[in-house]
Each structure stands twice: as structure tokens, then as C-alpha cells.
Amino acid sequence: MKNILLAIIIVATFASGCKKVLDIQPLNMIAETAVFKDKKLIEAYLLNLYTDTRFQETSGQANFNMGMIAGVGGEARPFGDWQDPYQASVKNYDATGASYLDYWAYANIRRVNEFIEGMETSSFDATFKNQKIAEARFLRAFTYFSMVKRYGGIPLIVKVQKDTDPKEELFPARNTEMELYDFIGKEMDEVALVLPKIYGAADDGRASKYAALALKSRAMLFAGSIAQFGTVQQNGVMGIPAGEANRYYTAAMEASKVIMDGGTFQLYNKFPSDPVKNFSQLFIDENNNPEVIFAEKWDAAQNKGHSWDNLATPAGFSSSWNSNFNVLLDFADLFDYQNGTSGALDRSLMNGVARWSVDSIFGKRDPRFRASVYYPETTWQGDKVYFHSRTYYTDPATNTRKNSTNETFVIPGSISADYPTGWKAKGPNRNTIRTGLYVRKRVNESLLPAAYGQSSTDFIIFRYAEILLNYAEAAFQLNKTAEALDAINLVRARAKMPARTSLTQDNIRQERQVELAFEEHRYWDLRRWRIAEQVLNNTRFKELNYEYDFDTKKYILKLTNAEGAARIFLPRHYYLPLGIGQLADNPNLVENVGY
Amino acid sequence: MSREQFMDKYASWLSDMKIRLSYGQAGNDNTSQFSYLTGYQINGGGYIIGPSINRSIQTTGLSNPLITWENITNYNAGLDLSLWNRKLTFEGNIFYRRREGILAQEQRALPSTFGATLPPVNLNTIDNRGFEAMVGYHPRVGNVKLSFTPTITVTKQKWVKRNEEDYTDPDQVRLYKLTGKSTNIENGYLSDGIFMSQAEISKLGFNQDQVGNSTLKPGDIRYVDLNGDGILDWRDQTEIGKGSFPEIVYSLIMGGSYKNFSVELLWQGASGFDFYVGGAAASMFSNESIPFDYQYQYRWKPDANDPTANSNPDAKLPASSLGLNNNNRIKSDFWLKDASFIRLRNVNISYDFNKNLLSKAGIKNVQVYLSGTNIFMINKLGIYKNTFDPDANVSGVGNNYPIHRNLSVGLRLSL
């Protein structure tokens, strides 16, 4: 044994002297020099940049963070208090950092910069190079937009830094908020000249000219309202001078107008006679959907699925998790009735005495409500969604009034054409615990079972209705009311809501919140309008609990707090904190005011 | 050493003596491969363009061609003694271990806006120092044979050198700079009981919730504004205790025998570490959990007629709340408890029957015994002491599987 060991040592000693044998290259690594000489590798690198870009929140355990922006925006809360979106909505963000909402994506920015510089050195034809570089610039601008809307001005880095660069570049101070928005606007103007208007089926999903203009439209609208409603602080690191508002609003209108005049997109309207179905299908239909300007694609069959349906589906259907996105009553109030009257429910009547038919509270609302929210007796997958926790009824055997909270108890004599299996005294328990309204938007009724990671529905990042609303809002702020009315009424006509004949700022804001509900807009909109301290501060949003009176076929409503603690949105929260970690990391950064 | 000639004069009582000194150096190459190379790797997922998913590649980040393994140096000094014909034995060991060149990412050279994944560099140093001692005492009184064997191990681990930000803010230096500090410490806020009434909140002299105490309710934890600046923020944190690594571990084996009876007890314990009460153990009803008994017993309990007044004279814990209460979930010494414990791990009592009688029956040995494991424990967890076992669970919620208590009675028969 000893001799064998000795032999091994001797052989190893000699072998180590011979470089070729031990100097192996890892087999799973692609050499740095190979990438920009090969179109396939270039493509693979670019797709990594797409993957990096946080188009929508999907992170967190089991995709729970898909409810993050709706949570902090006061649209819907998650089922469990322990889920990050709930924690994020009741948190008082302080000097320690932006926590759940943190997005400091300079690693992504560096990879985009590396790609762009690598492409510039490659020897492929200019058309190919410019196209790929333009896609990368779109992604970089999207990422900067995601950061500037959180923090205000941040260091704008558009080249690959080397550790030998001058110190003031390596330890950059913050650019102004205006410089960031101007960068996004200018970049999108330039790449819009390069990117094609539309891709063939093989390239569907790439950033197009219109995606770039849609980003510009949104970003310029943000900049316009920050200039109009915000205050300039710290030499423009936070805030945009008020005099710039019109320039940005005009830019938002112009970018939107190019898309509107381009003829490529229109509002989805394949089911004009059924506005609820139409508005539901808008988010599901991926077959030449004319409204989709840019989407992140998903396909569970190719192992890229998400869990939206698994989380959102009400209890009583095929999802094992279910009931996760609970719509807050205060947000539901924003959806008017279809005749144009206000949908805000009178809180004083939710006293446990008054009785309401489901039609009178929800059934005659804006079709967009019915397509976006599950409410009691919403028809779903051939059955109905039930939220009631108790049923009062008259027992036909004894002719006495009784009540029951038994989930399996069928009210005697309740089997009918409407309720083929009868009326159960209580809905599935999980439906009775939280707000009594769930997010339905983007849930695919034909997905069975709604299992974990099995959703293939694409995330629409930019859609035509948003462009119309961007246009309307910018036009309204520029006193171009006629243009604003035209655009907003197109959106309302598709929803089968009565046309507006005049406009107020509240009309504009309400339309946006209703049309774009649960699509990661409201939180950012409330911030840029600088009304988040009124809407999201020192308030506990409400929820409904339902009991059913079988004799009158009406509901008894009770109003309770949907959230355990009051939300906190202080003036300082219009800009999230960079946090003490970032400040220690780079002493040239200044913290936002108030932290 | 006891065999040396000059030690002969002590031979009457010194049976054995040995001094040990050792020094050793070893490498630890438990690091990722190919950190000295840079290139691209294929990602796990992909991105869908057109009808199908496509693979993507990503740079592995910057490389460190100078990467090497970390270095561990051990110094040991020991003394073995055996006295009065092994009636008393002692074994002691002092050790110092130094791990140098622990891989870490350079923190100071470049800020996060640089964007690259910095390569691992051999930067950090940790040392461990401590001692172990074991005493054996085996007296004999007439027919009674006794034995006591206590052992103790004490270890401290410290960051000798840690690559970290050049903190300039004195509070950041105090809280976040780890060089020179033990690796086994916890930072957090200091607590000062709970608010028993709204009046106590109203007269609080500082802004605890950063919104003028408007979110505080009776039954919430009161904290200490350590720097007295009128607001509770991260600067009021301090070192509140130790981490979950026991710095002192001890045991004692006690044995005794008289004629055919013998008894053996094994005590084990640990000290110098803390237990953090978290999750549902701290937040009543969190995630629809059923409250623990101590929560029911010791919570601040609203009076039926006046929900802002407390009705529980034993109130020590926060009130129950709908949803998680952010004020009470701040990391503080309210929830950090000394986890020291001692436990009677093993008991064995046995009786051997007379062999002479047995051999006539063709039986070699018969023993009756009573034995038990994990008989009881003494710990310092106060109101949590019956719920949590710091031996089994040093951090968290306390919903892990408990350590078994085992009692057995038996008859052992050898033919």
C-alpha cells in the first residue's frame, strides 16, 4: 500500500511539471473572446439582458411579489400578513434603506454596457449591430426608469467602468432627476429610429420602435407630473423644475401620438357585445392581440410558467393555494356603476341590518370591475364564487327562521336551476377570512388545474389603452381638453361606460386607476401625483364580510379593517431611501431628504 | 515527563504527567472552482422570443488570478496529569486557531454602481481561542466506588481582520464594523417593558415610531432612545447579546457503585449563547397560528369595558393584534434570552445478581436496570422555559420536534 502511495506522489509530481495536462479549461464556460464573434452567443447574451430586466415583480417565495405593487399601492393585500407585499405596505421606510422596494440594479446596467461596448467592437454588419444595441439600450432605459421612479436622481453610468478609471467616476455623485428622465427620452428617440415597428412571428417579444415610444410616453408623463406637483430639492437630485412640466407633457403627448397614428395597435374589442368577457380576454388572448405593445412572454410547457392563477383563483376551485390577492374596499369604490354614478358604497349602511342584492352593489358596476374582481356569485369555471360566512333561512319543515355557518350544509329547498347543487350555508372558509373581493384580472378561466408555476399568460408591459391614458393626461395638463376627452372616451367606449363630456383632474386619475388596476401602476401614479400622503397615510383600508339571507336572496354586509396596522406614507416617501449601506459604500452619494 | 529521573522524588503521588505542545498548518480548499478565470456560462432559465424559449449566457464576473486556499494555523498547549495512582486525573488544553485568507469580495475598492460581481479574494481572518479541561476524580470509600468527571470547553471566535466598508459615521462604526469583534454577537434595540396604558405612551419623551407615536397602542413594546436625540432610529441600536453559538459547553459524569448496585448520571449543558424568540412565538396569531400558553397567560390584555386599559396583572408580553405588529417585531433584547441550560442527559441505575448463585443455574449474568435519557433541564428562559428547548432549537419559532425523554426498565440476561 505504501509503495502505491509513493508511486502516485511521484507521478503527480512529474505531471504537475508538465503544464498541458493539469492546465485544464472548464468545460462549462465560454471564453470571453468568443462571444462577440458568434451571432448565437450575442443573441444568448442579449436574452440574458431581457431576463435581467424586471418588467414586473415576480420574485419572492412562490411569486407572492406579483402582489407587491398592488399591495403598496392600496389596491389589494395578500392573504397572509407574513407575505412581503403586506409587510411592504405597512412599513415606515427609514434611513436603513428601501427594503422590499429596493431596486439598485447596477449589475444589470453594467451587463448592458458590456454588451453595447462588445457589440461596437464586433465585425458584423451595421444593421445587425445597431438592432442589437438598440434593444439593449431599451432595456437599460427601462431599468433606469425603474430606479429613478424609486429614488429620484441616481448615478447615470453608460459605459463599462474599469477599476483604473478616475476616482470621481468610480465613486459617482448622483445625477439630477431631470438628467435621468432626459436620458430616457433621448435614448428612446434614438432607438425608435432603429427598431422595427413590428416583428415577425419568430422575433415576437423583442423591444420594437413602439415599445421604445411607449416607455418614453410613460416616462415623460412621470417627469411632467413630478415637475408639476413636486418640489426641487438638493439641487435637482430630487425633483424637476416646474417650468419643465409642459416640455415633458408635450413629449409624452408626441410619443403617444406616434403610436396612435401608427395604425399598428388598437383597443382589444373581439367581443364587443360582452364587455366583461372582452375586458377579461384582453389579458388572456395571445392570438394577434392588437392592444399589446410589449409583453414579457411565459409558457409553462417550456418550463417558464408563473403562479398568478394558482395564487389568484378563489377557494372552491382548482387551485391548491388560492385566494391570495384580496381587493381592498376603498379601491373597489373607485369603480363606478355602468350608468356613470359613483360606486363608492355608503359605509353607514354596512351595519349588519341593511340587505343588499349582489347586483345592486357589484353586478351593475363598470364592466372592468366585473372583469377585474371576483365578488360574491361571480360565475367561474361553470360554478360560482361564494364569500358568505353564514346563511339565514326559513326551515320549511318547521317554518322557523334559522341560520347556519356549516360549509357543507345545503339550505333545504335551495336546489334550483341557478344553484344545481343547492345553496351552501357558508362559502369555502378561505373566502370568508379576508376582504371578500379578489383580483381576477389576468386569471385564465380555461387553465385547469390552476397549479403552481403552470400559468403561461404573458405579462403585458405596455398596452394601447395606457398610451391613450398617457395622452389624455398629458393633454389635460396642457389644457388640450378636446384631445384629452377624445382619448379617454375611446377607453371608456371600449369598456361600455358612458362618454365623458367634460373632464376634471379626478376623472383623469380615476380612469387610469380603474383601467390599469392591478397592473403595477397605481402606487407609482399616486406618488408622481404627490397625493400618496392623502391616500396611503394613516389609514387602515376596509373589507367586507357577507352574510346571506336566503329568504330575501340578499346580503347583509359588515365593514371591518382589512389591515392590522395603519399605513404610513410620509412626504419623505415620495423618494425611497438609498439607505445607510449605499452611503457607506460611496461617500459621494447624498441621501434623499427626510431620512 | 513523569518518567524523567528528576521527577522520581514525586513518584509517590505523581503517577503520570505529560506536557504537549503542537503547531500545525493546513489549507482549506473548499472554494468554488475556476474563480481565477473569467468567461460566460449558460443560465438555467431562458427568455421566450417568438414561439420558443431560448438559452441565455451570463458573464461569470471578474476573476482573481491570484486566488489561493485559506490557511489554518493551529497552536495547542496541553497538560496531562495523573495523581495518586489515577485517583485524580486532569487533561487540559489551550488552543489558538487562526484562519487566514478567507475568501470574500473586496468591499472598499469599488462601490455598488461599478456593477461587476467582484471576484473572491483571500481577505479575511478569523481566530478562535479557548481551552478544554477534563478532570477525573475516582475516590473509594470502603465498598463505595465513586467517580466524578467534569469537562468544560470555552471558545471565543473573533474577526481579526474583515474587509468591510471604511465606515466613518461613528454609529456605523459601532454597529457594522466587525473587525476586532466576536463573531457571536447580535445588534438590536434595547427594550423597556411594554406600555401598560395610553398615558404611558403620551408621556413617552421621544418619537418611537417616527410618526409622533400615533401608531403606538397600549400593550406595545417600549424601546430606549439610546442616544437621546428624541427619535428612535437605527442609531439607537447596540449590542444586545450573543448569537446562537454556545461559547461554553460543559458536562459532568457522576458514577457510583456499591456491591452489586451501580449508578451513573450524565449532565450536559451550554452557556454563552442566546435564544431569539421569533415568528409566531413572538407574534400571537401570526399566520393563523394557535397561541402558546405563555402568550395567553402573560399578554397585555384589554379590559372588557375599556379596551385601552390592561386587565392582566401578570402582563409582560405585547397585546395580541390583528396582523403583525411592526413595533413589536423590531429586533430587540425583549425577545433575546440567555439560552444557558443544563440537562440531565442520562441516568442509569443497575443491579447485578449474585454470580455464584446464577452459575449453578447455567446463567452467566442477570442485571436489572432502570435507565432514562433527557430526564429534565434547567434553563434561564423565564416564561418561555417550558416551551422552548435551547438545546434543540437555538433560533426561531420553537415548532421543531422536541427532544425525546426516554425511560426504560429492563432485565438483561446472558447465558
| Tens-digit pLDDT profile for residues A24-63 | 666 677 887 889 999 999 999 999 999 999 999 988 778 8
A334-343 burial string, b = 16+ CB within 10 Å, else e? bbbbbeeeeb
Neighbours of A51 (CB within 10 A): 20
**Cβ within 8 Å of residue A241, ≥6 positions away:** A178, A227, A232
A8 touches chain B (CB under 8 A): no
CB contact under 8 A, B214 and A538: yes
Q: Distances in Å between the alpha carbon of A473 and those of A249, A431, A516, B113?
A: 8, 37, 14, 35
Report phi then psi at A182, rounded to 5.
Answer: -65, -35
Asked if the Cβ–Cβ distance from B326 to A91 is below 8 Å, we say: yes
The Cα–Cα gap between B275 and A239 comes to 46
Identity of the residue in B39, B59, B166 whose CB atom sits nearest the CB atom of A111: B59
User: Are A48 and B43 within 8 A, CB to CB?
Assistant: yes
Closest CB from B49, B211, B286 relative to A203:
B49
Confidence of residue A228 (pLDDT cuts 50, 70, 90): very high
With beta carbons under 8 A apart, name residues in chain A contacting B32. Answer: none
A171 touches chain B (CB under 8 A): yes
Dist CA A385 CA A374 (whole Å): 7
Tens digit of each residue's pLDDT, chain B (415 residues): 777 777 777 877 888 889 999 999 988 776 666 667 778 888 888 899 999 999 999 888 887 778 888 899 999 999 999 988 888 999 999 999 999 988 888 877 789 999 987 888 888 999 999 999 999 999 888 889 999 999 999 999 999 999 888 888 999 999 999 999 999 999 999 999 999 999 999 999 999 998 899 889 999 999 999 999 999 999 999 999 999 899 999 999 999 999 889 999 999 999 999 989 988 888 888 777 788 899 999 999 999 898 889 999 999 999 988 778 889 999 999 999 999 999 999 999 999 887 777 777 777 788 899 999 988 889 998 898 888 888 876 556 666 677 788 899 998 887 7
SS (H, E, C) A326-386: EECHHHHCCCCECCCCCCCCCHHHCEEEEEECHHHHHHCECHHHHHHEECCCCEECCEECC
For residue A241, give how far its alpha carbon lies from the nearest alpha carbon of chain B (Å). Answer: 27
Amino acid identity, position B214? S
Cα angle vertex B373, ends B368, B374, to 5°? 150
Contacts of B287 in chain A (CB under 8 A): 80-82
Rounded to an integer, the average pLDDT of A337-343 is 96
Q: Rounded distance, CA B387 to CA B389, Å?
A: 7
Size of interface A-B (CB pairs under 8 A): 186
The predicted pLDDT at position B31 comes to: 64
pLDDT at A3 over 90: no
Question: pLDDT by residue (tens digit) across A490-511?
Answer: 999 999 999 999 999 999 999 9
How much is the pLDDT for A13? Answer: 44
Q: Give the nearest chain B residue to A580 (CA atoms).
A: B172
Distance from B176 to chain A by nearest Cα, in Å?
10
Compare CB distances from A107 to B33, B38, B115 and report the shortest one's residue: B115
- Please list every residue in chain B whose beta carbon sits closer than 8 Å to the beta carbon of residue A28: 41-42
Q: Residue A11 pLDDT > 90, yes or no?
A: no
Find how far residue B311's CA is from the centre of its chain.
Answer: 37
- Taking the CA of residue A189 and the nearest CA in chain B, the distance in Å comes to 24
Q: Are A330 and A541 in contact (CB under 8 A)?
A: yes
B198 DSSP β-pair partners: none
Q: Cβ separation of B39 and A111 shorter than 8 Å?
A: no
Radius of gyration of chain B measured on its C-alpha atoms: 30
Mean pLDDT, residues A225-246: 98
Which residues in A lie closer than 8 A to residue B61 (C-beta atoms)?
none
For the beta sheet containing B52-59, the strands, ordered from the edge strand earlier in sequence to the opposite edge, are A30-31, B39-49, B52-59
pLDDT at A441 over 80: yes
The predicted pLDDT at position A422 comes to 93
Question: What pLDDT shows up at residue A15?
Answer: 44
Interface test with B, best of A42, A81, A86, A588 (most B CBs within 10 A): A81
Per-residue pLDDT reduced to its tens digit, A255-294: 999 999 999 999 999 999 999 999 999 999 999 999 999 9
DSSP state, residue A97: B
Nearest chain A alpha carbon to B116? A107
B49, closest residue in chain A (CA to CA): A205
Residue A107 forms contact with B (CB below 8 Å) = yes
Please list the residues that pair with B97 across neighbouring strands.
B74, B128
Q: Which of B111, B234, B323 sits opposite A81 (nearest CB)?
A: B323
Residues 304-323 of A with CB under 8 A from B: 304
Task: Specify whether the CB–CB gap between B255 and B136 falls below 8 A.
Answer: no
Touching check for B55 and chain A: CB below 8 Å?
A: yes
Inter-residue contact A325 to A333 (CB < 8 Å): no
- Tell me the nearest-neighbour CA distance from A230 into chain B, angstroms: 22
For B266, the grid coordinates are 450524565
Chain B environment of A104 (Cβ under 8 Å): 112
d(CA B344, CA B319): 36
More confident residue, B41 or A486: A486
User: Nearest by CB to B211, which of A90, A95, A568?
Assistant: A568
Measured between CA atoms, the residue of chain A closest to residue B170 is A584
A147 pLDDT above the threshold of 90: yes
**What is the CA angle A27-A29-A30, rounded to 5?**
115
Query: Could A29 and B215 be called an inter-chain contact, meaning their C-beta atoms sit closer than 8 Å?
Result: no
Report phi then psi at B126, rounded to 5. Answer: -125, 140
In this structure, the number of other CB atoms found within 10 A of the CB of residue B329 comes to 17
Chain A: closest CA distance from residue B317 (Å): 18
Mutation target to probe the B interface, by most B beta carbons within 10 A, among A161, A326, A430, A580 is A580
Q: Where are the beta strands (DSSP E) in A207-324?
A: 292-296
Q: Tell me whether B409 touches chain A (CB under 8 Å).
A: no
Which of B42, B43, B47 to mutate against chain A (most A CBs within 10 Å)? B47
Provide, rounded to the nearest whole percent, the portion of chain A with pLDDT above 90: 88
Nearest to B217 by CA among B289, B304, B325: B325
Contacts of B54 in chain A (CB under 8 A): 43-44, 47
SS3 content of chain A, % helix, strand, coil (to 5): 45, 10, 45
Instruction: Using a CB–CB cutoff of 8 Å, tell me whether B351 touches chain A.
Output: no
**Is there a contact between B34 and A41 if contact means CB atoms under 8 Å apart?**
no
User: What's the confidence (pLDDT) of residue A539?
Assistant: 93
The grid coordinates of residue A51 equal: 431576463
Q: What is the 3-state secondary structure (H, E, C) of chain B?
A: CCCCHHHHHHCCCEEEEEEEEEEEEEEECCCCCCCCCCEEEEEEEEEEECCEEEEEEEECCCCCCCCCCEEEEEEEEEEEEEECCCCEEEEEEEEEEEEEEEEEECCCCCCHHHCCCCCEEEEEEEEEEEEEEEEEECCEECCEEEEEEEEEEEEEEEEEECCCCCCCCHHHHHHHCCCCCECCEEEEECEEEECCCHHHHHCCCCECCCCCCCCCCCCCEEECCCCCCCECCHHHCEEEEECCCCCEEEEEEEEEEECCEEEEEEEEEEECCEEEECHHHCCCCHHHCCCCHHHHHHECCECCCCCCCECCCCCCECCCCCCCCCHHHCCECCCEEECCEEEEEEEEEEEECCHHHHHHCCCCEEEEEEEEECCCEEECCHHHCCCCCCCCCCEECCCCCCCCCEEEEEEEEEC
- For residue A414, the SS3 value is coil
Which residue of B107, B114, B211 is the best one to mutate when testing the A interface, meaning the one whose CB has the most A CBs within 10 A?
B114
Q: Which residues of B touch A45 (CB under 8 A)?
A: 40, 56-58
A204 Cα to chain B: minimum distance (Å): 4
Nearest to A589 by CA among A175, A177, A101: A175
Report yes or no: A565 at the B interface, CB cutoff 8 Å.
yes
The span from the CA of A191 to the CA of A133, in Å, is 9
What Cα–Cα distance (Å) separates residue B308 from each residue in A217, B169, B220, B312? 52, 41, 12, 12
- Please tell me the number of Cα atoms within 13 Å of A143 on its side-chain side: 27
Contact A269, A279 (CB under 8 A): no
Q: Regarding beta strands A325-327 and A76-78, do their DSSP bridges make them parallel or antiparallel, or are they unpaired?
A: antiparallel
Per the CB < 8 Å rule, is B111 touching A170? yes
At A416 the three-state DSSP class reads coil
* A8 pLDDT tier (thresholds 50, 70, 90): very low
Nearest residue, CB atoms, B233 vs list A47, A81, A94: A94
A483 CA: distance to closest CA in chain B (Å): 36
Q: Which residues pair with residue A295 across a beta bridge?
A: A460
Q: Is the pLDDT of residue A213 over 60?
A: yes
* Cα diameter, chain A: 101
pLDDT value at position A81?
87
Q: Which of residues B279 and A209 earns the better pLDDT score?
A: A209
pLDDT tens across A364-388, in order? 999 999 999 999 999 999 999 999 9
CB contact A173 to B (< 8 Å): no
Q: Is B411 on the interface with A (CB under 8 A)?
A: no
The answer to ipTM > 0.90 is no
* B321 chain-A contacts, CB cut-off 8 A: 564-565
**pLDDT tens-digit map of A109-130:** 999 999 999 999 999 999 999 9
pTM to 2 decimal places: 0.88
- Short-list A470, A463, A464, A466, CA closest to A248: A470
User: What is the mean pLDDT of the segment spanning A156-161?
Assistant: 96
- Whether residue B115 and residue A87 make contact (CB cut-off 8 A), yes or no, is no
B35: amino acid identity, one letter: S
Tell me: pLDDT of A17 over 60: no
CB count, 10 Å around CB of B347?
A: 17
List, as ranges, residues 40-69 from A with C-beta within 8 Å of B: 41, 43-48, 50-51
State the pLDDT at residue A5.
Answer: 47
CB atoms B326 and A92 under 8 Å? yes
Mean pLDDT for chain A overall: 93
Q: Where residue A20 falls among pLDDT bands split at 50, 70, 90? A: low
Grid cell in block for residue B157: 471566535
Compare CB distances from A32 to B39, B107, B215 and report the shortest one's residue.
B39
The gap from C-alpha A261 to its chain's centroid, in whole angstroms, comes to 27
Please tell me the predicted confidence (pLDDT) of residue B345. Answer: 92
Distances (CA, A) of A396 to A326, A411, A412, A424, A547: 36, 10, 7, 16, 20
Which pLDDT tens digit goes with each residue over A526-551?
Answer: 999 999 999 999 999 999 999 999 99
Q: Does B47 touch chain A (CB under 8 A)?
A: yes
In angstroms, what separates the C-alpha of B50 from chain A's closest C-alpha?
4
pLDDT of residue B65: 78
List all residues 6 or more positions away from B321 whose beta carbon is below 8 Å from its beta carbon. A564, A565, B283, B284, B285, B328
